[in-house]
């Protein structure tokens, strides 16, 4: 039997909002989080812009959850205060989702709770920062280094903090990691392995070396609008030239409808289905055929017809080949429905959050469904395709019942999920 799977809690920390209400306001206002990068230092690199969270303090963030049980907040502080940035931001987004799902008041048995972390290579900046000291005196390397350099530090820290004792692991799917994690969490519940699952999109804390690497690969934008960072990320605009790096962590609590009902919690949305497929390609180029196949497979899984979809949160990274390929694939899948399908890309506001992109964009989709608007594509001055119903420079009021969110990654990884507005 197919179980119905709800999203019962959400949390986020991003460049355009350090919690769900702030993030929602920024989406509606079309606030862009991209600016001059501050965390690079020496040596100077070619990448000068990005959407950084900025002025992050774990202690300050934890204060906003003062109404949560004191022991939970104290533990969060104790476990994470000396952890790398990516762990601290995961703790913050997970606490908000935990509270949002009322898991502190109406708990689930630890053995029935799972956790899936989206992303791998989560501590690159931490490693980069440790390297100079290591070269100087290896003996002084922190004995905590082996704990932190493994991505499963996220699994360990969050599972201890929230007493999660079911299944838990990290998944990697490059820029599709977030969607892959949502799909894996969904499957864990479908299979009856857990009743609820924390899905955490981890912040991609890239070091200057990874940023320069993406630049040298030719994947990054920001050249033409070097003095106007807020204009550099232009998904589906003729002046797009590559992605702009963004920082965010997002968390969603996935839960079976029975479990949510038992706890008296109403879901904010339902996951109708999702699909992940490979192109069989080790390189960076997208595949129209793969993108068509994954969107169609997601529709089949969700038992939804293409013309029932109201809104598509596109992968739309602002890279020319990626944007053009996605639009070609969308045209094929949606055909005559194209003129009624709202399309935007959250990356125009948040930058490309890489591992967490799927999660923060699913959250953006849900907020738009809940509040009835389509957020703007702020830099879409000259669309590459005139037939698509792209949102314009300001938010449009719109009733969205069913949404699709795409994420595609290097290495021929395609993913698509379908969400339905909750509340019934």
Binding residues for other proteins (CB under 8 A): 77-78, 81-82, 137, 139-144, 147
* Residue with tokens 């001059």, as numbered in its chain: 36
The SS3 call for residue 419 is: strand
Q: State the first-to-last Cα distance of the chain, in angstroms, to the nearest integer.
A: 21
Among residues 1 and 140, whose Cβ is nearest to other proteins?
A: 140
Token pair for 357: 């992109």
| CA distance readout (Å), 289 to 328, 385, 405, 412 | 10, 19, 17, 11
Alpha-helix runs per DSSP H in 163-250: 177-190, 208-217
Shortest separation between residue 91's beta carbon and other proteins, angstroms: 15
Could you give the CA distance from residue 65 to residue 94 in angstroms, rounded to a whole number? 11
Shortest separation between residue 134's beta carbon and other proteins, angstroms: 12
Among residues 135 and 339, whose Cβ is nearest to other proteins?
A: 135
Shortest separation between residue 62's beta carbon and other proteins, angstroms: 13
Contacts of 8 (CB under 8 A, 6+ apart): 100, 101, 102, 196, 253, 254, 255, 260, 265, 266, 267, 268
Please report how the helices 152-162 and 85-100 are oriented relative to each other, as an axis angle in degrees rounded to 10: 40
Among residues 81 and 223, whose Cβ is nearest to other proteins?
A: 81
Shortest separation between residue 77's beta carbon and other proteins, angstroms: 8
Shortest separation between residue 96's beta carbon and other proteins, angstroms: 23
Reference 350, options 362, 341, 338, 339; nearest CA is 362
Chain Cα centroid distance, residue 411: 18
Shortest separation between residue 145's beta carbon and other proteins, angstroms: 10
Among residues 78 and 285, whose Cβ is nearest to other proteins?
A: 78
Q: How many CB atoms lie within 10 A of CB 66?
A: 8
Among residues 129 and 371, whose Cβ is nearest to other proteins?
A: 129
Among residues 139 and 336, whose Cβ is nearest to other proteins?
A: 139
């Amino acid at each position: 039997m197919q179980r119905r799977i709800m999203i019962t809690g959400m949390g986020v920390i991003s460049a355009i909002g350090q919690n769900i209400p702030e993030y929602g306001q920024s989406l509606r206002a079309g606030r862009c989080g991209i600016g001059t990068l501050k965390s690079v230092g020496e040596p100077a690199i070619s990448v000068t812009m990005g959407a950084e969270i900025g002025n992050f303090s774990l202690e300050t963030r934890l204060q906003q959850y003062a109404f949560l049980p004191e022991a939970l907040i104290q533990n969060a502080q104790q476990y994470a205060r000396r952890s790398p940035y990516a762990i601290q931001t995961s703790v913050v987004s997970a606490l908000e989702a935990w509270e949002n799902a009322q898991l502190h008041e109406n708990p689930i048995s630890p053995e029935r709770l799972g956790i899936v972390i989206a992303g791998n290579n989560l501590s690159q900046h931490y490693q980069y920062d440790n390297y100079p000291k290591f070269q100087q005196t290896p003996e002084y390397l922190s004995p905590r280094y082996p704990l932190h350099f493994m991505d499963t530090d996220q699994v360990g820290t969050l599972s201890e903090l929230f007493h999660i004792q079911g299944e838990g692991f990290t998944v990697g799917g490059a820029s599709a990691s977030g969607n892959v994690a949502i799909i894996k969490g969904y499957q864990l519940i479908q299979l009856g392995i857990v009743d609820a699952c924390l899905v955490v999109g981890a912040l991609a804390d890239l070091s200057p070396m990874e940023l320069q690497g993406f630049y040298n690969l030719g994947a990054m934008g920001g050249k033409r609008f070097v003095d106007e960072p807020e204009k550099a990320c232009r998904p589906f605009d003729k002046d797009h030239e590559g992605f702009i790096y963004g920082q965010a962590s997002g968390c969603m609590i996935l839960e079976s409808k029975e479990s949510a009902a038992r706890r008296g919690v109403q879901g904010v949305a339902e996951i109708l289905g999702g699909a992940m497929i490979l192109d069989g390609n080790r390189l960076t180029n997208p595949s129209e055929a793969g993108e068509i196949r994954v969107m169609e497979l997601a529709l089949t899984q969700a038992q939804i017809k293409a013309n029932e979809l109201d809104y598509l949160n596109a992968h739309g990274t602002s890279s020319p080949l990626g944007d053009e390929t996605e639009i070609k694939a969308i045209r094929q899948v949606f055909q005559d429905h194209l003129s009624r399908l709202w399309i935007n890309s959250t990356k125009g506001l948040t930058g490309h959050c890489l591992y967490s992109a799927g999660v923060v964009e699913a959250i953006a989709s849900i907020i738009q469904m809940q509040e009835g608007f389509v957020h703007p594509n702020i830099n879409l001055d000259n669309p590459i395709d005139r037939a698509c119903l792209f949102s314009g420079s300001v938010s449009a009021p719109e009733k969205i019942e069913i949404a699709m969110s795409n994420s595609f990654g290097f290495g021929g990884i395609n993913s698509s999920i379908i969400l339905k507005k909750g509340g019934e």
